[in-house]
Structure 1
Amino acid sequence: MTFSPDTGASSLGPDWVLGEDGLRHRRAARVVVLDDAGRALLVRGHDADQPERSWWFTVGGGIDPGESDVEAALRELREETGLVLGSDDLTGPVMTRAGYFHFFAETCRQDEVFFLARIPAGTEPDDAGWTDLERSVLDGMAWLTPAELRAQPLEVFPVALPDVVERLAAGWDGTVLHLGEEHDD
C-alpha cells in the first residue's frame, strides 16, 4: 500500500502536511541572529491551547515550495523582524535539528536548518510583518545573552541554544552542529 499524505490544512497552516508517521510535518529555515555584544535576537511565543506556557525561540519558519533554505531564512527574517539581509549576510547552515512539539492541539515534527546572521548592536527588530496568526501566538522579541537565557524561567528551543549562542559568538568553526531529535515534553 502506498501512503498518500493528507495535504489538507490544519490549524497550523497550509504548509503543515500529514507525514507517514501520522504527525503534521514541515521543513523550516531558522536564523540565529547575533549582535556585536554576543546577544541573540529571540522571539517569545505561546500556544493558543496553553496560554500559560511560554518559550523563547529563534527567528524562522516554513520553507515555501520552490524556495531554497537560504531564501526561506531571509524571507522569515524580513517578515518576523523587519531585518533585510542578503544571502552573503548568512553563514551556514550552522545547525540542524528535528523538533517535535505540541501546538494548536497537534503533535508536530519540524525539520530545521539554522543559519547565522551577525548584525550591529543597537539594531531594533520590527514586528510589522507578523501575520494575524503570528500576532495571536507571538508575544514579543528581545536581545538575550546566553547568561540571561539560562537565568530566565521560560523554556528555550532548541534547548542547547544558550550554549550554541556562546559557541557562535566566539566564531563559527565551520562545523554543522546536528542536534538530532528534540521533544518539548
Structure 2
Amino acid sequence: MTDSRLPPPGTVVRRTTARVLPVRGDGKVLLLHGWDPLVPARPYWFTIGGGVEAGETVAQAASRELREEVALLVPADSLGEPVATNTIEYHWGGCPIIQHQTFFAVRVDAVEVSFANQEELELATISDHGWWHPDDLEATGQAAHVTIPGLLRQAVNAIELRKAS
C-alpha cells in the first residue's frame, strides 16, 4: 500500500511531539485506539498528541493536538509542567521513527470526545477512544508502546498531587 500522506518507506523520521494525558477523577486516562496504516490487523491504544510545528512551544502543540484529535479545549498555559519526557523508537507507515515526547497531564471531568477536527490520515487510522486505568491497559498488552502504562501512572499521580496542594 502506497499512501501519498506517508513518507517514502524506509525513511527515518525524527520528530518532537507533545502528548497529553487527560485524567478523570476516577483515575482513568483518555487514550485513542488505532493502528499502523500498513498493519491494520494489529490495533493498539495510544496517547493523544502529535508533532510540534515550527513556531510552537511544546505546550502550544499539546493544546492544539487535544483540540484536533478529541475536541478538548485546554489552553496551553493551563497544562502546567510536563509530567514526563522520553524518546522512543518504533515503526509506523513503513518507516522507522525516533520520537522525542513530552507528556502533560490534565484533569478533566465530563468530556465529550469528537473526532471532527482530525486530519484525513488520523480519521483513517483511529477508530475509537477509551478511558483506561494503567493496570487494566497493561494487562491487555494492547498499549502502542511498553512505556504507556507507566506514563498513565505518572499522569494520575501528578493530578492527585495537584489536587492535594
For Structure 1 versus Structure 2, the TM-score category normalised by the shorter chain is: 0.7 to 0.9
Seen in structure 2, the aligned counterparts of structure 1 residues 12 and 134 have a Cα distance that, compared at 3 Å, is farther
Seen in structure 2, the aligned counterparts of structure 1 residues 170 and 93 have a Cα distance that, compared at 3 Å, is closer
The answer to whether the 8 Å contact 2:137/2:143 transfers is: no
Instruction: Return the structure number with greater strand share.
Output: 1
Find the partner of 1:161 among 129, 132, 148. 148
The answer to whether the 8 Å contact 1:34/1:116 transfers is: yes
| Alignment gaps of 5+ in structure 1 | 1-8, 175-185
Shift of 1:89: 2.4
Instruction: For CA contacts below 8 A with separation 6 or more, give which structure has more relative contact order.
Output: 2
Seen in structure 2, the aligned counterparts of structure 1 residues 162 and 10 have a Cα distance that, compared at 3 Å, is same
Counterparts of 1:95 and 1:126, CA distance in 2: 26
What percent identity do the matched residue pairs reach? 31
Aligned length: 157
Find the partner of 1:171 among 142, 158, 161. 158
The answer to whether the 8 Å contact 1:54/1:155 transfers is: no
Counterparts of 1:127 and 1:12, CA distance in 2: 24
TM-score between both structures, scaled by the size of structure 2: 0.85
Q: What's the RMSD between the two structures over aligned residues?
A: 2.3
Counterparts of 1:155 and 1:162, CA distance in 2: 7
The answer to whether the 8 Å contact 1:30/1:113 transfers is: yes
The answer to whether the 8 Å contact 1:149/1:156 transfers is: no
Q: Which residue of 2 aligns with 1:5?
A: none
Find the partner of 1:130 among 86, 95, 118. 118
SS at 1:128 equivalent:
coil
Counterparts of 2:156 and 2:141, CA distance in 1: 23
Larger Rg: 1
Give 1:14-33 correspondences, 5 Å limit. Answer: 23-33=12-22
Alignment of 1:107 with 2:96, yes or no, is: yes
TM-score between both structures, scaled by the size of structure 1: 0.76
